Every structure is written in C-alpha cells, then in structure tokens.
Amino acid sequence: MKLNELTAHELLDLLKAKKTTPREIRDAVLAGIARTDGQVKAYVRLRSKASGEQEPSGDVSMPIPIGIKDNICVTGEPTTCCSRILEGFKPPYDATVIQKLKGSGAQIIGSTNMDEFAFGSSTENSCYGPTRNPWDRDRVPGGSSGGSAAAVAGHEAIWALGSDTGGSIRQPASFCGVVGLKPTYGRVSRYGLIAFASSLDQIGPITKDVEDSALLLGIIAGYDERDSTSADLPVPDYTKALVNDVKGLKIGIPGEYFVEGIDPQVREAIDVAINVLETRGATFHEISLPHTGYATATYYIVATAEASSNLARYDGVQYGLRRQPLDTRKTPLIDMYEETRDAGLGSEAKRRIMLGTYSLSSGYYDDYYLKGLKVRTLIKQDFDKAFLKLDAIVTPTAPTTAFKIGEKSDDPLSMYLSDIYTISANLSGIPAISIPCGFSRDRLPIGLQILAKPFDEAMLFRVAYAYEQSTPWHKERAPV
C-alpha cells in the first residue's frame, strides 16, 4: 500500500519506527494529487511554498499532510471561500486551528474546494467549478466541504479540515465514504474561520477512520480568548475513548428520521448498523424528536439571517474586488457597493443574502427571524429531553447516496432538503459524527450519523470506534 493511502495513526507508527520520513509522506501525497486531482478537482490551489521543506523542530509530534477548506485563514496564502469577491485576499494572520496545526508540525498541502461561502450541499456553487466524487466522477462529493472529503477519499490528503454549519462536514463525509465530525459548538475556536452563520459554524476533522478523527480533534480543540464563544473547558485525551466496547450504552432511534424521502438502501444499511451495535451489547430505544420536521425551515431562516449580516462586509472597500458601473444609478458609492456585490457573488450567495435580509427586515422580523429562534428552542429541547435517558442517538447522515452533478442545481429547495438529518445538531449545538456504514448496489458510500450530548465527543468516538472495529467499511478505498 502506498503511504498516501494510510491513515495518520498508521503513518505516525511508521515514523516512530523510523520506517519513513515526513518528506516521503509528503511526496506520496503530492504524487496522489498529481495522479488524481485532474479528475476529482478536490483542491483549488496547492500551497505556494513547501511547508515540508522547513525542517520540523524537536517537539513536533505530527508532521502529517493536511488539506484545508478554503474558508480557514492561513497567513499569506490566498483564502477565498471559493468566491470571486475574495479573489486575491491573503489573510495577515492564521486561524487558531492553523496555529495549532503548525505547532504540531502539520504539513499544509493546499486549499480544498467548497460551495461559495459554504452555501450548498454539493460543492457545485464554487467559483472554481465542481469537485467530483472519487467513487463516481459523475456524482457530487456532497458539500459544502466537498473538496476536503474528496481529497481524503481520493488519497490526496491524509486528513483534512472542513467546516459544518448545517451538515457541511458530515454529508460530504457520508457521500465520500470517510469519517466527518462536527464538534460541539464552542469546542473548536472559530477565530480565522470566515463566518457564514456565527451561531452554527464549527470547524471539524475529515479523516479515513475514527482514531484519526480523535487525534485531529485533540490537536484543534480548546478554549481561545480570541473567540468569545469558545468554551473554557479542558480538552480530554480523545484516544482514551477508543475502547471498543459499547456494552450497556443506551442509544436512541428517532422515528422522525425514518419517514418518506429516505432511500430504502440507506435505511437498510442503517438497520444493519444498528444490529451490529446491538450485537456488541448496546441497547436501542425508539424515541421521538417531535420538532424534527421543522428543522430545515428554521435553519434557512436563522442561517441566512446571520449570513446576510456576515456578508455585509464584502463591499468593495476592505477586500480585493471592486467594480464601478459606467453610469450613475444611485450615488457613486452605493453604485460601487452594488456593482461589486453583483459581480463578486454567485447566485446561491445572492439568494441567501436576500432571504436573510427579508427575514430580518422591518415588518417581517417577528414572523420569520424571531419565530425561527423560538422554534430553534423547541428543537434543542427535544434533544435535551432525549439525552436525559440516552448516551447517544443514531440516524442516517443523509437521506440518499451521492446525487448526480447538476441533478439539484436548478432547484434550491430540493438541495436544502438534502441536509434534513444534519441540520438539527447545528441548531442544538450538539456534536455529531458521520462514519461509513456500507454501500448501495451501485457502490456508493452510505453514512451513519451518531449524535451525543454537548461536549461528549468521547461518546461519539466510543460508539463509532466499536462499530468500525466490527465492520470492514473504513478499509474500502475509492477507485482512483
């Protein structure tokens, strides 16, 4: 097996045994990119100067090559959210997660593709064009962190960072057959993550297996005074949760997640996964999360309202792109704002800014935004109640396997509904992981989602690891 096909923990074992070097691992990953990326297009740019050439200092522990979603700031490297409006933007500072990664000796390989400003579920809304699913090039990798998921599945990165506002780590992980974790809101600093919806956004790991997910979360998690919403709680050693034992754990199955719209093959795979965990000694309980059906509607009010406010800063003044129309329509200044935003923002970004502006506007605030925040309370209370008696909840990650490129791009609402199972974790702030749990008949990966109480990522790893150790799915490799 080639080095770039191994997991980070396998590579760390080889490094410790002096059977390979950081340089060899990096070269293997770059060779993987040269072989595969022409077709998959997981990266939008490779890092300009080779970070692997700086000799790792003595206390460097994990010199593993990593792909970074294009919305996480790296000093001096273009960071654009795959939007024309940020063309040429080079952040003058590192995101906290990047600082932590650099401290661990990580080799940053490049920036991965995404839906513009993370607005989408397919990575088709990128100003650089779509990424393709390594399992089937005619299909989407999911989104918005589709480039990161495809890079890991296609052996173009050992692991990667994504961001998850409504499922943007977990749904592409599901579509690409890899492990994707959305940590508890506040577990990982958002400093240097270009904001989409500040009350929902979290950075998280996309990896080949559960052990790598635990390792990478251990690197990036923790309190940061530069993000006042980060939680001042100690970071446990997550690898201690990898005990391969779920005996006596109480796990809930919410009936509302198994209704119309779910692909029968997805349903079957989830049922089989539940049986596996039951055989390992977990007990399953049918539960109800009664406000599930309102989550997507609530999300598209709350998330777009926050996005419309966060994206107001792209006005042709502070960042690169500026356009001035030839004629004067309103005043020269307002014309510049409007022309810049028309030229720099893609159609989904405009749609979401408009939706958010509408629900925040005078006369509509109470009926839309305030109502959304109240329903958000109900959705969160559903989970609070359920977790009084449960250790974890399992659901499918997405109702279907990866869809075809172009299949949903003309119908925004049907695209929004592909996040139907992932959105509630963001609205409630709870952690959730997607792990591979089988394949459809046409050999497309299916994902199992596990949810737990706030700050109980260890429980996710425990359940996910026990499942993984009982099944072969994480060993399957995409045909690249």
Partner 1 sequence: MTKNAQNITKEDVQYIASLSRIHLQGEEVERLTKDLENILGYVHKLEKLDVRAVEPTSHVLPLANVYREDEVKPSLPQAEVMKTAAAPHNGFFKVPKVIQ
Which residues are catalytically annotated? 69, 144, 168
Give whichever of 263 and 339 is closer to partner 1, judged by the CB atom.
339
Give the C-alpha distances (Å, rounded to integers) separating 31 from 7, 28, 37.
Answer: 16, 5, 10
Interacting positions 445-474 with partner 1 (CB under 8 A):
454
Give whichever of 399 and 445 is closer to partner 1, judged by the CB atom.
399
Supply the minimum distance, in Å, between the C-beta of residue 169 and partner 1: 17
Give whichever of 10 and 335 is closer to partner 1, judged by the CB atom.
335
User: DSSP letters along 103-136, please?
Assistant: HTT-EEEEEEP-SGGG--SSS-S-TT----BTTB
Supply the minimum distance, in Å, between the C-beta of residue 332 and partner 1: 4
Give whichever of 147 and 429 is closer to partner 1, judged by the CB atom.
429
Supply the minimum distance, in Å, between the C-beta of residue 62 and partner 1: 28
387 binds partner 1 (CB under 8 A): no
325 binds partner 1 (CB under 8 A): yes
Interacting positions 413-452 with partner 1 (CB under 8 A):
413, 416, 427-429
Assess whether the previous peptide bond of 144 is cis (omega < 30° from 0).
yes
The burial of 1, by beta-carbon neighbours within 10 Å (0-12 exposed, 13-18 middle, 19 or more buried), is given as exposed
Region binding partner 1 by CB under 8 A among candidate stretches 137-145, 210-218, 318-326, 441-449 = 318-326
Give the C-alpha distances (Å, rounded to integers) separating 347 from 43, 117, 127, 306.
Answer: 22, 12, 11, 18
Buried b (16+ CB within 10 A) or exposed e, 272-283: ebbebbeebebe
Residue located via tokens 């050439």 = 53
Q: Six-digit token pair at 302? A: 């709350």
Q: Six-digit token pair at 118? A: 């993370």
Residue located via tokens 């340089």 = 23
- Asked if residues 133 and 150 have their Cβ atoms less than 8 Å apart, the reply is yes
Interacting positions 127-166 with partner 1 (CB under 8 A):
none
- The 3-state DSSP class for residue 390 equals coil
HSE of 310, CA atoms in CB hemisphere, 13 A: 20
Quick one: the chain helix, strand, coil %, rounded to 5? 40, 15, 45
Region binding partner 1 by CB under 8 A among candidate stretches 115-123, 258-266, 339-347, 387-395 = 339-347
Interacting positions 65-124 with partner 1 (CB under 8 A):
89-93
Region binding partner 1 by CB under 8 A among candidate stretches 128-136, 166-174, 213-221, 319-327 = 319-327
380 binds partner 1 (CB under 8 A): yes
Of 370, 470, 471, 476, the residue at the interface with partner 1 (CB under 8 A) is: 370
Residues 26-45 as x/- pattern, contact with partner 1 by CB under 8 A: --------------------
Give whichever of 59 and 228 is closer to partner 1, judged by the CB atom.
228
Give whichever of 103 and 320 is closer to partner 1, judged by the CB atom.
320
Region binding partner 1 by CB under 8 A among candidate stretches 211-219, 273-281, 336-344, 437-445 = 336-344
Question: Could you give the CA distance from residue 45 to residue 433 in angstroms, rounded to a whole number?
Answer: 28
Supply the minimum distance, in Å, between the C-beta of residue 132 and partner 1: 26
334 binds partner 1 (CB under 8 A): yes
